[in-house]
Structure 1
Amino acid sequence: MMNPDPVPSSSPAFGTPAYPIRPNKHTSIPTRTSILPILLPASTLRPVAFRTFTRKHNLTLSSSALQFLAAFVGKNCGSRWREEGLAERVLDEVAKSWRKAGGGVIVEEGKGASLKAILQTLEGNMSGGRIIDPKLALKEASAGGIPSLQPSTSSMTIADDQEPDGSDDTLVHPRHWVKVIEAFDTPRLTYNAEKKHFEVTKLKPSLFPHPSHKTSLFRDRYNIVHQRLLRNESFQVSLTSVGVPGLQRSSSSFAKSQCYRLTPVANLLGRSGTSHLLLGLLSISPTGELALTDLTGSIVLDFSHARLIPEDGAWLTPGMFVLVDGIYEEEENVRGSTLGGNTGIGGAIGGKFVGISICGPPCERRDTSLGMNLHENSQDISSSGGFGWVDFLGVGSERARGSRMRQIQMRCLREVHDGMELHRRLKIVVMGEVNLDNMKTLDALRKVFHTYNELALQDRPMVFVLIGNFVQKAMINGGGQGGSIEYKECFDMLALILSDFPTLLQRSTFIFVPGDNDPWSSAFSAGASSAIPRHTVPDLFTSRVKRAFATANSQLDRKQISEPPGEAVWTTNPSRISLFGPVHDIAILRDDISGRLRRSAVSVGHNDAEMEDGPSSTADLEEQTSALGQQEAGRSNLASPAMHSARKLVKTVLDQGTMSPFPQSLRPVLWDYSSSLQLYPLPTTFILADSEAAPFCTTYEGCHVMNPGKFIPEGDLSSMTWIEYDILKNRGRVKEDRF
């Protein structure tokens, strides 16, 4: 029996409908609460915004963004913004949307995302000062109901350490987080010396830039080295030396309670006979003399009585930034310059600087550069200082994503350990100078692939890195079309070998890094040093290898496994491998850098009688700052000459903070892409593929450096050498085998 009709009967007097509306038990009409907008000062909202954006999401609000948010909260939340916690929920959703849209650490309009667009979208899903979940509203609307106006629990209960989209839950295999970053895709960052932070270059890069960009290249290198040096404890002014006038430093002579002071080159004028500590670029002056140049000027150097610190511990070549401790001497006439005069701002000053000791700028550990304080037990990370908020690779900064990525790494490994793959090791196999035009190389590759193919699934490498030169001679240079055909046949033979190991192709990532003999740079350089960074091997030559991977992946049902398909990646030289975002940063460079260092090294003489007076400032500085690095590098066979050469090479490159510490005449660099060669902050791992140096694995200042050498060593055509790298332990091992 139907319930009594609450609506009166139809009557002209009351104007009631002839067919009254029957209530529906599935329909509930909510009462909409009106909001009275208020004018909310930005200063009043600042504590809540700081707690939500900075402490919870590691974001920084600009003043303009705070004003914009205060107006938005006052309009949509009204006077209940504080008592009912409406403002905190709204700001939390804005922060999550900003991170999801790819915004930077500083929340400001135009910094990677649009704050206005986020607030406009959010305003359309608000009612009564509360946020309606768009997905829930759409679901209920499609079901014929009216969406609830209460705040959605699904959008408000996301943990702080989770990504907003929740897509990370399905990516449980480590290879999902392997990303190859080409040199031309690396963020173009420059260091702003005035603001003391890194900025993204907004100018469009070009292969034919303005000549001023060449000057900017070396100026930016100087600014990075200079700020890194001033961050060193030896250059920090102590309170004791400031408070006691008698302990203040008057020269560059070292004292245990004092700090070092750098003297600009231009400030040497009128200070003849005094000792100073200089930082500058070693260069060859137009007169053919060795000179030191900084942002203020240049001075001729005299190294006849100098010594290198540590002795025979690093290379010294033009194009490097060095610390020189010595005495300035004025002369009556030095190459046309008058006494104490100069040729203008930035010009060469008169006289010469007699060096007593010289060393490279001290290296800085990665955790110091990023402001990280790691505790092994709790894995607590603090990024309050340093440059932890800078996204150096385009995969997220350490401050924004570091802790989250470490949790994902632990979850991926836990999934692996709890499953069938109980003892899985994350390994990378690195092979250098893989000459595919040598039949011995092809036989050796087959033996290596067969060895890893026979291992259990959990012990197989995750990534194979094959580094050129892929041909022994630059055939493209003089061979014309025939050279191109022969070069393609080399990769076709590689594809035939790879096809015999479909399980490796299905479950591994193969990365190919070209050398100077590979196209297209070899077409005009004939194998000589070409400009870096250089592009990948063209797709014209790699189609058969890609087809082998496609065929192997088609034979495996991906629905039954969570692992991504295998792939072949052709990347640039240099390039980067990112694993779990900023957690693992692996830099790769193919360059015979040791031979170039030997050919262009500067000889430094010394007078033993004069050096017996006492230690110099650079000597003590090097002894303090490099003790840890020498201790780490010295764990491997200190008596081996090959290991000594390896440590010498590693220290030279990492101290300079760049992959190419040479002048443009020795190793050309594309000016607008020079930031891709930057080694600051230090990567976790550096693969320095130098075919002229013996294979080695060593650690310096926390950075593990590996050189695979030649895959087929010279003089022994029946053996092969490669490196097996354990990612979690951050240690590599040189492996040898015969075929």
Structure 2
Amino acid sequence: MTTTSRRIEEPAEVPRPTPNPIPSSSPAFGTPIHPIIPRRTAPIPAPPGLKAVAPALKPTILPILLPPATLRPLAFRTFTKKHNLTLTSSALQALATFIGRHCGSGWREEGLAERVLEEVAKSWKKGGGQAIVDGEGETLKAILKVLEGSMSGGRLVQGNPSLSRQGSMKFGIEASVQELGGPRPGLGDSQSSFGISSLEVEDLEEEEDVLKDPREWINVIGAFEQPRLVYNVNKKHFENSTTKPSLFPLPSHKTDLFRQRYYIVHQRILRNETFQTPSFSATRSAALTRTSSISTSQTNKITPVANLLGRSGSTHLLLGMLAVSPTGTLALSDLTGTIALDLQHARPIPEDGAYFAPGMLVLIDGTYEEDYNNPASGSNSALGNTGGIGGTIGGKFIGFSVGHPPCERRSATLGIASSDQNTNQPSGTITGPAFGWTDFLGLGSERATGARMSRLAGRLLPPTSAHTIAIASDLHLDLPNTLSALRILLSTYTPHPTDPNPVYPLAIVLIGNFSSRATLAGVPGAGSIEYKEHFDAVAAVLSEFPALLARTSLIFVPGENDAWPSAFSAGAAAPLPRKSVPVLFTNRIRRAVAEANREVWGPGGAARLEGTSKGKGEGKKKEGEVIWTSNPARLSWFGVKGEMVLFRDDVVGRLGRTAIRFRKPEQTSDDGNAQGASPGPANTEDGTETQPMDLDPPRPTQNQAEQLDADTKTARALTRTLLSQSHLSPFPISTRPVHWDYSHALNLYPLPTALVVADREAPAFVVRYCGCTVMNPGPIVEDTGRGRTGKARWIEFDIGSGKGVVRSEG
């Protein structure tokens, strides 16, 4: 008892310590040494030299009701395609509810939903979940609960400890790139599929300050280097092919070649407004008429060929490929069957404005007539087909009008702000995106890198100066006047030494044939030794212009008479695409460019000129280079900012030999004009032309009588045919051989910024159609008549304005 009393009374004898200004580390528990101090009422002053920071306001998100069906394609691509997981309906419902509540309306445009789905999939796999993601269990609920506490303003917070503990997502991209419309953070391994890592999308200002030469952002993509994308009908988007392309593919790949062409054109047509039923109004839009449509109904609907059975006498609109049946008659084939065509009274739309040949996908409006005299109607005993699906159905389809599928602008495909004056939409309007996240060339997608590339292009390509690309074709080096024409071209772009502000072209494209005769085909004077000597002569001419060689890029595209395909084709149409000219014949030209770089830039290269008196004001310049590429090839500048297709082929001659001839009506109207004559540009109610094709310079207005010569008609017909078909070679393989696994390099979808069709049989022209500039430079040696060939001819294209002009000097 004594000991106990002493212990109780000891605290009363100990004097109270002075208040400690430092609070206890455990303020909830008072001790004699560190008692509880009353709470301060005055605010704690900020340390000297520092400003008080206001508390950050948490951004608010307006929840939306997101249907699971709307989220299904994105969730399927993330979970199933990438992570091999299967979503149940309950899991999809839970994800849709979570994303709609925490991401709001920015779930699609800002890429918020994909980051959440990516994190959920990785967390599920890291937690050892099964292949089936079930929304009824506790695992998915726990993952969503962790993510809910890690989100702010619809975005996953960078550096959140809950995410770092799971270690399933890395945030290494600056927030400034997000504000500029750059890549979406948190994509992880999916960056390559969306084209984010190829261009180093990180917004590095130091890198941009160093790369001040626009040529640093120009890339040449060969046909054998282009990514192979296939269109998935079920997912309705492009995806990388799972098989490696080969020059000796399986026979089934031949069928896939035409099936992919049909899929691309079909999905493009279905997005056209005239093939969509109006939601609130039945007023017919005139857009399809302006793009060479053939239908006059309010809403166009495509009927499969197999659905014609039993519907004799009814009018339909068919989409299929023109083909020649084994009996020699013209037929139309789609994925469901084949029907014989009767185009005796059909009219092409537009008149004399396009080519229609077997192998092309066309729209035909007409009536189906069933063959009742044949007891086996719906079958073709000669072909061994029974029934309609998969073979030739009985009867015939009487066509009234035939037209090409409507073309789709590049801005509509990639979701680029449209600035073309020929469109009905105001300038700056985003008309998509349909495939904004698809990387077609392996250089980055529009949604991932478009904003940054546009900003760089605006800074490095000022509108006050020209940034041109010179294009010449048919350089027959075995003819003496060709070297003279090449010398004229090079001297045109070589500034005078006293010029204070010299301007050089970004690139000079030289397209074959580099020999007028087939090389290595046994033709006298066209052997390997002579072929190499021809390029040695080109190297001698190039050595006369070292200043130009050191500041531009030389690009060589082969033709039919160039090695090695000419060794076995003898100058005939070799399979497309073709590889570049072998290095064996081009060493002297490479040496000439390297010597020009050493003469102009010095031993240390162009980087030594930065900050020196010799290169003052030029910044870091790129040295001259020579590129030997394939046929066809693509030249890209600033990623997806611009794209030029380089193609060498005699397309006009092949179209003239295989095109269908429509009967001309001989009736005459009351005013004396023939009804079969080619009409001028008709105008719709809104004042826009039905055939939106303009030449450079622009063509006459409606009030002026437009008299088109034969060359202009040929140029327009060739342009409309290739761009509407979205393919460089819309012919059967028997007419134009193509490597099956590399046919994707011939696609013109999305529509390029410029298309160069080097055709020696077509006139030199520059035509602009649907925002694409189509050019044919013609032979570099211009025939002035009476056997005189003293002038050089080529095309000069400005990548800033997107305009080209045919130049002739000499």
Normalising to structure 2: TM-score of the pair? Answer: 0.71
Residue type of the partner of 2:449? R
Contact 1:513 1:573 survives alignment (8 Å)? yes
Residue type of the partner of 2:386? T
Contact 2:364 2:403 survives alignment (8 Å)? yes
Residue type of the partner of 1:88? V
Q: Find the counterpart in structure 1 of residue 795 from structure 2.
A: 723
Residue 647 (str. 1) matches residue 688 (str. 2): no
Contact 2:361 2:725 survives alignment (8 Å)? yes
Supply the distance in 2 between the matched residues of 1:243 and 1:198 (Cα, whole angstroms): 33
Supply the distance in 1 between the matched residues of 2:193 and 2:628 (Cα, whole angstroms): 34
Residue type of the partner of 1:234? T
Q: CA deviation at 1:242?
A: 7.4
Supply the distance in 1 between the matched residues of 2:222 and 2:757 (Cα, whole angstroms): 16
SS in structure 1 at match of 2:663: coil
When residues 58 and 459 of structure 1 are mapped into structure 2, their CA distance, relative to the original with a 3 A threshold, is farther
Q: Find the counterpart in structure 1 of residue 631 from structure 2.
A: 573
| CA deviation string 1:333-364 (max 9, x = no partner) | 67x95357763431000111111111111111
When residues 506 and 663 of structure 1 are mapped into structure 2, their CA distance, relative to the original with a 3 A threshold, is same
Q: Find the counterpart in structure 2 of residue 706 from structure 1.
A: 775
When residues 107 and 330 of structure 1 are mapped into structure 2, their CA distance, relative to the original with a 3 A threshold, is farther
When residues 50 and 589 of structure 1 are mapped into structure 2, their CA distance, relative to the original with a 3 A threshold, is farther
Supply the distance in 2 between the matched residues of 1:506 and 1:678 (Cα, whole angstroms): 34
Supply the distance in 1 between the matched residues of 2:249 and 2:221 (Cα, whole angstroms): 23
Supply the distance in 2 between the matched residues of 1:192 and 1:525 (Cα, whole angstroms): 36
Residue 94 (structure 1) aligned to one of 144, 153, 171: 171
Residue 657 (str. 1) matches residue 729 (str. 2): no
Residue 520 (str. 1) matches residue 564 (str. 2): yes
Q: Find the counterpart in structure 2 of residue 111 from structure 1.
A: 190
Residue 439 (structure 1) aligned to one of 480, 490, 496: 480
Supply the distance in 2 between the matched residues of 1:475 and 1:580 (Cα, whole angstroms): 37
Q: CA deviation at 1:263?
A: 0.9
Supply the distance in 1 between the matched residues of 2:294 and 2:643 (Cα, whole angstroms): 39
SS in structure 2 at match of 1:723: strand
Identity %: 43
Supply the distance in 1 between the matched residues of 2:325 and 2:758 (Cα, whole angstroms): 32
Uncovered stretches (5+) of structure 1, i.e. residues with no partner: 1-40, 119-159, 245-251, 418-422
Contact 1:97 1:164 survives alignment (8 Å)? no
Q: CA deviation at 1:207?
A: 0.5
Supply the distance in 2 between the matched residues of 1:86 and 1:264 (Cα, whole angstroms): 45
Q: CA deviation at 1:585?
A: 0.6
Residue 540 (str. 1) matches residue 584 (str. 2): yes
Residue 269 (str. 1) matches residue 309 (str. 2): yes
Residue 736 (str. 1) matches residue 805 (str. 2): no
SS in structure 2 at match of 1:459: coil
Q: Find the counterpart in structure 1 of residue 346 from structure 2.
A: 306
Contact 1:65 1:109 survives alignment (8 Å)? no
Supply the distance in 2 between the matched residues of 1:97 and 1:184 (Cα, whole angstroms): 34
Q: Find the counterpart in structure 1 of residue 693 from structure 2.
A: 630
Residue 175 (str. 1) matches residue 215 (str. 2): yes
Contact 2:112 2:155 survives alignment (8 Å)? no
Residue type of the partner of 1:403? A
Residue type of the partner of 1:111? S
SS in structure 2 at match of 1:565: coil
Residue type of the partner of 2:452? R
Q: Find the counterpart in structure 1 of residue 763 from structure 2.
A: 694
RMSD: 4.0
| CA deviation string 1:464-502 (max 9, x = no partner) | 000000000012111599711110111101001111110
Q: Find the counterpart in structure 2 of residue 214 from structure 1.
A: 254
Contact 2:295 2:365 survives alignment (8 Å)? no
Supply the distance in 2 between the matched residues of 1:220 and 1:575 (Cα, whole angstroms): 20
Q: CA deviation at 1:503?
A: 0.4
When residues 361 and 610 of structure 1 are mapped into structure 2, their CA distance, relative to the original with a 3 A threshold, is farther
Q: CA deviation at 1:241?
A: 6.4
Query: Where do 1:473-622 residues align within 5 Å?
Result: 473-478=517-522, 483-555=527-599, 556-557=601-602, 558=606, 559-561=608-610, 562-605=620-663
Residue 230 (structure 1) aligned to one of 264, 270, 278: 270
Residue type of the partner of 2:655? L
Supply the distance in 2 between the matched residues of 1:434 and 1:648 (Cα, whole angstroms): 26
Contact 2:488 2:792 survives alignment (8 Å)? no
Residue 430 (str. 1) matches residue 430 (str. 2): no
Contact 1:636 1:643 survives alignment (8 Å)? no
Supply the distance in 2 between the matched residues of 1:655 and 1:104 (Cα, whole angstroms): 32
Residue 61 (str. 1) matches residue 101 (str. 2): no
Residue 440 (structure 2) aligned to one of 385, 392, 396: 392
Q: Find the counterpart in structure 2 of residue 410 from structure 1.
A: 458
Contact 1:285 1:291 survives alignment (8 Å)? yes
Supply the distance in 1 between the matched residues of 2:560 and 2:731 (Cα, whole angstroms): 17
Greater mean alpha carbon deviation, residues 633-642 or residues 50-59: 50-59
| CA deviation string 1:416-443 (max 9, x = no partner) | x9xxxxx531001110111111111111
Q: CA deviation at 1:371?
A: 2.4
Contact 2:415 2:446 survives alignment (8 Å)? no
Contact 1:511 1:571 survives alignment (8 Å)? yes
SS in structure 2 at match of 1:709: coil
SS in structure 2 at match of 1:604: coil
Q: CA deviation at 1:192?
A: 1.3
Q: Find the counterpart in structure 1 of residue 377 from structure 2.
A: 338
Supply the distance in 1 between the matched residues of 2:279 and 2:398 (Cα, whole angstroms): 32
SS in structure 2 at match of 1:453: coil
Q: CA deviation at 1:459?
A: 2.8
Q: Find the counterpart in structure 2 of residue 188 from structure 1.
A: 228
When residues 574 and 623 of structure 1 are mapped into structure 2, their CA distance, relative to the original with a 3 A threshold, is farther
Supply the distance in 1 between the matched residues of 2:148 and 2:279 (Cα, whole angstroms): 50
SS in structure 2 at match of 1:568: strand
Supply the distance in 2 between the matched residues of 1:407 and 1:458 (Cα, whole angstroms): 25
Residue 454 (str. 1) matches residue 512 (str. 2): no
SS in structure 2 at match of 1:190: strand
When residues 330 and 179 of structure 1 are mapped into structure 2, their CA distance, relative to the original with a 3 A threshold, is same
Q: Find the counterpart in structure 2 of residue 348 from structure 1.
A: 392
SS in structure 2 at match of 1:665: coil
Contact 1:697 1:704 survives alignment (8 Å)? yes
Supply the distance in 1 between the matched residues of 2:447 and 2:533 (Cα, whole angstroms): 47
When residues 486 and 311 of structure 1 are mapped into structure 2, their CA distance, relative to the original with a 3 A threshold, is same
Q: Find the counterpart in structure 2 of residue 157 from structure 1.
A: none
Query: Where do 1:151-170 residues align within 5 Å?
Result: 163=203, 167-170=207-210
Supply the distance in 2 between the matched residues of 1:687 and 1:576 (Cα, whole angstroms): 10
Supply the distance in 1 between the matched residues of 2:222 and 2:304 (Cα, whole angstroms): 37
Q: CA deviation at 1:232?
A: 1.1
Residue type of the partner of 1:590? R
Normalising to structure 1: TM-score of the pair? Answer: 0.77
Bigger Rg, structure 1 or 2: 2
Contact 1:373 1:382 survives alignment (8 Å)? yes
- Larger relative helix fraction: 1
SS in structure 2 at match of 1:184: coil
Supply the distance in 2 between the matched residues of 1:210 and 1:622 (Cα, whole angstroms): 49
When residues 55 and 358 of structure 1 are mapped into structure 2, their CA distance, relative to the original with a 3 A threshold, is closer
